[in-house]
Amino acid sequence: MAEALMKKLYGTGTYVQSAGVHSDLEIDGFSISVCSELDVELARHQSRSFDEMGRLGDDLTSFDLIVALSPASHECALDLTRLYHIDVEYWPIIDPTGTGETRETKLAAYREARDQIMQKLTDRWGKPENRA
């Protein structure tokens, strides 16, 4: 969600790549649903791990910042960057994956995570309309 939301808010002038500790083959359907509510397309997005990024040609040393959204990804990012000059920020976002019993309660949890990411993005980089 974070990569797609960043691109929606600020365009593609900055290179953004999402990665996690593990890669999943498919993006969660609830993530797709709550992002589509904001006209953010996720259905074709593929998640990847930090290791896959390297195999696909992304060199971690070319990044200025890694934003971790979970304790596990934060720990992994700190470990990967200990020899490089790359800033790492940790944004504790709720993990909605195990939340809720019904479709509506699950969607509410995913909306909360999406909205937390949006707030963190605008706190860090300002309101999108202020961008050049």
**Tens digits of per-residue pLDDT, 27-48?**
788 999 999 999 999 888 777 7
Over range 62-83, report the average pLDDT: 89
pLDDT at 27: 77
The pLDDT value given to residue 106: 95
* pTM of the predicted protein model: 0.85
Q: What is the pLDDT of residue 23?
A: 61
CATH architecture of 2-130: 3-Layer(aba) Sandwich (3.40)
What is the C-alpha separation between 30 and 7, in angstroms, rounded?
Answer: 19
All structural domains of the chain with their residue ranges: 2-130
Residue pair 66/3 in contact (Cβ under 8 Å)? The answer is no
Contact 93, 116 (CB under 8 A): yes
Question: Given pLDDT bands bounded at 50, 70 and 90, which one contains residue 88?
Answer: very high
Give the pLDDT score at 132.
Answer: 46
Tell me the backbone φ, ψ of residue 48, rounded to 5 degrees. -145, 160
119-132: pLDDT as tens digits:
999 999 999 875 44
